[in-house]
Structure formats: structure tokens, C-alpha cells
Amino acid sequence: MLISPPSLDRQPRAEQHKISLIRLTYGLINRTILVSDALLVVLASWLFWRITAGDHRPLHAFQALTIGFIIAVSYAWLMRWGGCYRVERFREWVRPQADMLCGLVPATVGACIILQAFVVNAWDRVDWFGGFFLTIMIMLFLGRQIYRPILWYVARRHLLRRRVIVVGSGALADEIVAHIQEPKFLQDYLLLEVFDHHLALTESGDGSSARPSNKLDDLFEFAQNHAVDLVIIALPWYAARDIFRLIQRLQWIAADVVVPFARTGFRPQFTPPVEFIDRPLLQVMHRPFKGSQGLIKVMEDYVVAAVALLLASPILLAAALAVWITDGRPVFFHQQRVGFNNKPFSMIKFRTMSIDNTDDGSLGTKRENQRITPVGRFLRRTSIDELPQLINVLRGEMAIVGPRPHVANMQVGEGRYAEVVMQYAARHRIKPGITGWAQINGMRGGIDSLEKAKRGADLDLFYIANWSLRFDLTIMIRTLLVGLAGRNVF
């Protein structure tokens, strides 16, 4: 049966969270405070140099900023090394100030040694340097007075609380549900729903008294419409077959997926267990773009899309006029594709083919397709037809770089892509992209074989596992240089 946990009385099930790559995490807050501290140190250095105007200043502006930068880097490194940027340390008043002094004093001493070595007669104005370092300390102190109410608001609104669903049944599932609902864990975890794994796996219609929402389709619908941070497969390891089947079926959800791990003394070396509600869990899937990675990815998408749309506007206008003059309306082609978290969206392209309402896109487009118009053939060969997808990026439906989105029933050989390639669904853990690692490695054009389909999915999963800003920039540059045209582009 489906269990409705008591915590849902305080958080109604009807409430749906907007699902986004950006999730507020402890790590994101820690790194934000670290960067803020470093900026405050540099800002304090510049401000003190500015307010002490006159020829009696012992340092030039560049020298003052350099010393400030050295202190900022040293201070941030020492604070991070000492674990002083953990959110829980800011819940007190005295501890953050003591942490600040423990990091600032050695960082300042190091800067003084460097200053003495490179600036002649630097210490002729000890009073000036005393004010310099005092200004930095005051600025960091004020920064902590700003952090405290912000962190209080975050805690008050439970913005760091991880949203959990449990899939399983029996004693283990009941134990985990009971643990999550203990008062000491309510601040960190919110139990959204519990699904019985038997019905979830079999999608049974055998006349049992279970409610319809036990079915796997309803679990999928729930995960599509609610932000989920953690999926717990609450099954014992002797049910390994069921565990692996569930992992396969849940692989598209953009969440961490874990399985309870017994305290037997054995610790696997390939992935260490993580602690959750005072018990070890084996993490079998990681949510991509956690914390600051998601923030960087989203900022990259919006900035690149806005700049590209501005620069490409003359090309977009010319292409739209060409389609309208030669083949009439509509100028744009809208097609339902499967996107982030397995949710459909309307992808925009320039219309390059004559209209055929019977074509659902499941078979792709062949090179010799007679419906392609002369203007459309040029737009496709130059990839100009893809430019309107920049609008999809600005609407938050796509990314600049990511797996290419397909129609829901995309055919490969004798079956659907999602059915014949086991790892295909994991591509939906991130936003689909205009270009991607697969596209610049020969995956443009139709997917006409099972081997090509598997290779494309493998390339997309490699991208997800190895993402970095540098990786994205490499893909974008290679797309501009070699990926816009070629024999596989049609």
C-alpha cells in the first residue's frame, strides 16, 4: 500500500516545487560565504587605501590590492581547511568570530612577511598598516552579521531540507520511514511519499485493494511534478533483483538514489557508504549539477543564449524571411520532445519541410527526404534551423550543451529508443542541449542502427559524469569550428 507519512499533514501533497538544476545545498552556501569573505577582504583593502588619501600612503593602489588578495586567498584556504565554512558553525554567535580570527591572524602574518620582502621601508608607517588590517577585520566581522540573518531565514524556511521519497515495503521501509520522521531529522529531511515496490515493479491489476497511486506511472508522475532530492530503495540486499530493476526504472530522476547498507564491517572500496539518519547507505546514483555546479551551468546557459541570440538576430531574421517568402507560414516548427526529468516540452526550429500531420517524428529524417524544401535544405546543412532553440534555453527548457532531445516514441530498429538502450533514460537527469558531446563525436544525422544509438547514449552519460565548465566550453568551440556542417548534417 501507499503510506501517507504524518509529515505530509504539515506539507500538503498538492504543493509542487519547481524542478530546477539549482538546488540550495550546504555546499553551495559554504562556497558562497567563502567567496564573499574573499571579496570583502579585497574590498576592505581598496576602501582603506582610498580613504587614506595623500602622499603619505606607503603602498600604491596595486600594492594594496595585491596584499589584500594574498590575505584573501590565504584566509579562505585556512578557513576551508579548518572546516570553518560549515553552516552549522554559524548558528552560534561567538564561534564564527573566533574562527575568523584564527584564519585572519596567520593570513595577515604571512602577508606581512611577503610585504617586508618586496616593499622597501614598508614598516615606516606601522599606524597605516594597523588601520589597514583593522579595516579588513571589521569588514569580515560585519559580513558575519549579514550572514547570520540570511542563514536564520534559510533554516526557518527549511530551504536546505532534502526532499525524500521511499520505494519499498516491509520492516526495512517502515524502519526508515520512522527514522526520517524523528524530530531530530525533521530539520534536514522532508518525507514526501512512500511507494510500495511490489506494485511499483509489477504495475499489478490483479484486483488487490491497493490504491491506484501505487502504480509505477504514478510514481513517475509524482517525480516529474515534485522536486525530489533523494530516492531511498528500502529493500534488503537479498532482494537484489528487485533493487537492480528499480535502479533501472528510476534512473531518469534527477536525484540521489541510495540503498540501505547493513553494518557488517565490510566497506566497499568502489564507493564508500554515506551516512543518512544514523545508518549507512550505498549511493548507486548521483544527482548531476549539485549546488554550485548547477548555478554555474544555469548562468552559463542564460549568458551564452542571450549573447548568441543577440549576435545571431540578423541571421534569424533573414532565415525567417526566406522561409516565409519561399514556403509561406508557419515559419517555425514546434515539436514535443522529452526534456529534463522526463517532462515534455515544445522544441522550436525553423520549418525546413513541407507539412505532414501524420509524421510524428518517431522515425527521424532521412537524407533523401523529399519533403525538405530548398531553403530548408540550406538551413539544415548550415544548422541555422537549430538557432531558435536559443529561445528554449532562455525559457529554461534546454541547455546550450547537453544530450539532444528526442520525441517520446523515437524508433531505433524494431523498438523504441528508450526500450532497446537500457541507459537511455539516464540522459533525462539533465536538461537537453542544442549541442553536445555526442553531436561533435559523429552523432549528427539520423540514428539508423542500434550500435549508433548505444554509442550516443554512452557519450551523453560520459558528458554527465565528467561535466565541467571547461568541458562545456570545449564542446561549444568544437561545435562552432567543425560541428555546424558536414556530411552527417542534413
Of 286, 240, 282, 285, the C-alpha closest to 262 is 282
Each residue's pLDDT tens digit, 140-157: 999 988 988 888 888 888
| Residue-level pLDDT at 300 | 94
Phi–psi pair at 293, nearest 5 degrees: -60, -45
| Residue-level pLDDT at 359 | 61
Mean pLDDT across 461-466: 90
Q: Which fold has domain 6-12+160-285?
A: Rossmann fold (3.40.50)
| Residue-level pLDDT at 10 | 38
Each residue's pLDDT tens digit, 221-247: 888 888 888 899 888 888 888 888 888
Grid cell in block for residue 236: 534488503
**Percent over 70 (pLDDT), the chain:** 80
Of 108, 54, 99, the C-alpha closest to 81 is 99
| Residue-level pLDDT at 74 | 94
Mean pLDDT across 338-356: 85
Confidence check: pLDDT of 8 > 60: no
Residues 6+ apart with CB under 8 A from 454: 421
| Residue-level pLDDT at 448 | 65
β-pairing verdict for 332-338 and 344-350: antiparallel
Residues 6+ apart with CB under 8 A from 229: 23, 162, 163, 164, 255, 256, 287
| Residue-level pLDDT at 264 | 57
Residues 6+ apart with CB under 8 A from 468: none
Region of poorest pLDDT, from 11-15, 47-51, 212-216, 341-345: 11-15
For residue 220, give the 3-state DSSP assignment: helix
Confidence check: pLDDT of 13 > 50: no
Average pLDDT, the chain: 80
Query: What residue segments make up the domains of the chain, in order of their start?
Result: 6-12+160-285, 26-156, 292-483
Residue type, 429: R
Residue with the larger pLDDT of the pair 469 and 453:
469
383 Ramachandran zone, left/alpha/beta (phi>0; psi -120 to 50): left
Residue with the larger pLDDT of the pair 77 and 201:
77
Mean pLDDT across 121-142: 85
Of 80, 87, 84, 79, the C-alpha closest to 103 is 79
Mean pLDDT across 72-85: 92
Confidence check: pLDDT of 470 > 60: yes
Residue with the larger pLDDT of the pair 71 and 87:
71
